[in-house]
Chains A and B, each alone.
Chain A
Amino acid sequence: MDEATEGGAVKRFLYVNRKAPYGTIYALESLEVVLIGAAFDQDVSLAFVGDGVYQLTKGQDTKALEVKNFSPTFRALDDYDINKIYVDADALRARGLTEADLVIPVEVVSTERMAQIMEGQDVILSF
Chain B
Amino acid sequence: MLHTVNKSPFEHSALETCLRYARQGAAVLLIEDGVYAAARDTAVSKQVEEALKKVSIYALEADLAARGMRNRVIDGVRLVDYEGFVDLVVEHNAVQSWL
Find out whether the CB atom of B23 lies under 8 angstroms from the CB atom of A50. no
Cα A15 to Cα B21 with chains together (Å): 15
Question: In the complex, which residue of chain A has the Cβ closest to the Cβ of B4?
Answer: A126
Find out whether the CB atom of B17 lies under 8 angstroms from the CB atom of A118. no
Convert B70-99 into 0s and 1s, putting 1 for each residue whose CB lies closer than 8 angstroms to a CB of A: 000000000000000000000001111111
Residues of chain A lying within 8 A (CB to CB) of residue B98: 18, 126
Judged by a CB distance under 8 angstroms, whether A76 is at the interface is: no
Find out whether the CB atom of B97 lies under 8 angstroms from the CB atom of A119. no
Find out whether the CB atom of B17 lies under 8 angstroms from the CB atom of A114. no
Question: In the complex, which residue of chain A has the Cβ closest to the Cβ of B21?
Answer: A115
Residues of chain A lying within 8 A (CB to CB) of residue B23: 115-116, 119
Judged by a CB distance under 8 angstroms, whether A121 is at the interface is: yes
CB distance from B27 to the nearest CB of A (A): 13
Cα A51 to Cα B88 with chains together (Å): 29
Cα A18 to Cα B95 with chains together (Å): 16
Residues of chain B lying within 8 A (CB to CB) of residue A122: 93-94
Judged by a CB distance under 8 angstroms, whether B52 is at the interface is: no
Convert A45-89 into 0s and 1s, putting 1 for each residue whose CB lies closer than 8 angstroms to a CB of B: 000011000000000000000000000000000000000000000
Cα A111 to Cα B22 with chains together (Å): 10
CB distance from A127 to the nearest CB of B (A): 7
Residues of chain B lying within 8 A (CB to CB) of residue A126: 96-99
Residues of chain A lying within 8 A (CB to CB) of residue B1: 118-119
Judged by a CB distance under 8 angstroms, whether B47 is at the interface is: no
Question: In the complex, which residue of chain B has the Cβ closest to the Cβ of A19?
Answer: B99
Question: In the complex, which residue of chain B has the Cβ closest to the Cβ of A111?
Answer: B20
Q: When A18-B99, A126-B99, A127-B99 are in contact, do A114 and B21 touch as well, CB less than 8 Å?
A: yes
